[in-house]
Amino acid sequence: MALERLFRRKRPSGGNRDVPELWTKCEACGAQIYKKEFQENLHVCPKCGHHHRLPAQERVAMLADPGTFQETTRLRPLDPLGFVDTKPYVERLKAYQAETGRPDAILGGTCQIGGVPAVLLVMDYAFAGGSMGSVVGEEIARGAERAAEEGRALVIVAASGGARMQEAALSLMQMAKTVMTLDRVWARRLPYVSVLTDPTTGGVTASFAALADVILAEPGALIGFAGPRVIRQTIRQELPEGFQRSEFLLKHGMVDRVTDRRRLKEELVRVLRHLHPGVAYAPGV
């Protein structure tokens, strides 16, 4: 009986135990990947090449030269409309801030990228789906102004579901503000590179993200204004295969290049060294 009780021990309860904590599962092919390998591979599946979403802090570490990044994004959001849906907006903000450890859906600062002085701004999809509210718009505007004042290139990595509904028209106003401040960068003949990641949609796509000197996109990224389901229901037609994915947009001239994340910094450095007026371009670098 003692042996029988031994083999009848209850399994630990709670959580999905199909995949051990040391492993993660690819969203595309279902392959089990050792987490350390997954992180070293920049959250790209080594089996099928699927690009999973990358946390903003890891994105900065990937693109900025070691030891050069100085964070400048410190603005905190307010709730001027007193917005309440299923819960107050202020409570949602507190929850997102506790989860991500940052005040809003953007992380940015000054740095060097391949030795080129730059302002790097990375949208954080983990914070309210990367939605653009007043703080995100203001940080992008200030980043563009800083780039122009200090003679830096501007690099923005987009990952967003669009405008933030809890801020209503105040959120939509950020589209015009961010676009207008880009003129200051171009007036100094400084390069602006936009990197589109999964997903980049709504008012972000319809403003600064689609107006760069060079637009790079990660493989398989969803890029568009309205979602494919809304478009399908509106036009009452089936959409082409791969519609609104980065490869489809490349084919139709909406992006300049689709670049694997593992080669993204190399590609970005080549572009910045070629376009920045203060950097001597060396072919093949």
Cite the annotated binding site by residue number: 26, 29, 45, 48
User: In 3D, which of 88, 117, 122, 86 has the Cα closest to residue 102?
Assistant: 122
Annotated binding site for Zn(2+): 26, 29, 45, 48
Question: CA dihedral in degrees (227, 179, 126, 53; nearest 10)?
Answer: 70
Indicate the helix (H) or strand (E) that contains 258.
strand 257-258
In Å, how far are 46, 159, 198, 272 from 130, measured between CA atoms? 26, 6, 11, 26
Exposure letters 181-198 (e unless 16+ CB within 10 A, then b): bbebbeeeebbbbbbbbb
Neighbouring residues of 237: CB distance < 8 A, sequence distance ≥ 6: none
In the chain, alpha helices (H):
2-7, 35-40, 56-63, 89-100, 134-150, 168-187, 202-205, 228-235, 246-251, 264-275
